[in-house]
Structure 1
Amino acid sequence: MLKNNVGGIDRILRIVVGLALLVGFFLNADAAYRWAYLIGIVPLLTGLLGTCPLYSIIGLSTCPMKK
């Protein structure tokens, strides 16, 4: 199982940015670079799941420490 390493504010920002990019995908139907908005899936999923594989690789965590 993946360890949670994305904290509260980080999760909110990832979800907002991911949703904004996906909304851009649907609003720019005729743009040549429309596919680039699909990158919003990555921050959306990492925000919803609370884990980021890149954070795990570099040993970073924005979760508060447990006492």
Structure 2
Amino acid sequence: MRNVGGADRTIRIVLGIALLSLFFVLPGYYKLFGLVATPLLFTGLTQRCAINQLLGRNTCRIR
């Protein structure tokens, strides 16, 4: 079931791309901060978030 949609999905994808760019820009171990983007991109692209499901939240209008 989809539970991520609308502005929530857009924010996750844009923020994920921005953080992923840090992986290519930052030196050394700081590159790991760019890997934080992985769950954001995954949940934004698949429109499924386990945390939203546990909390009972649904930002997707299509059911």
Larger Rg: 1
Task: Identify the TM-score tier after normalising by the shorter chain.
Answer: 0.7 to 0.9
- Work out the number of aligned pairs and report it: 63
Deviations 1:13-47 (A, max 9, x none): 1000000000111111x243221210101110100
TM-score (norm 1): 0.83
Indicate the residue corresponding to 1:64 in structure 2. Answer: 61
Unmatched runs of 5 consecutive residues or more in structure 2: none
The sequence identity of aligned pairs, in percent, is 40
Root-mean-square deviation (Å): 1.4
Structure 1 stretches of at least 4 aligned residues deviating more than 2 Å after TM superposition: none
TM-score (norm 2): 0.88
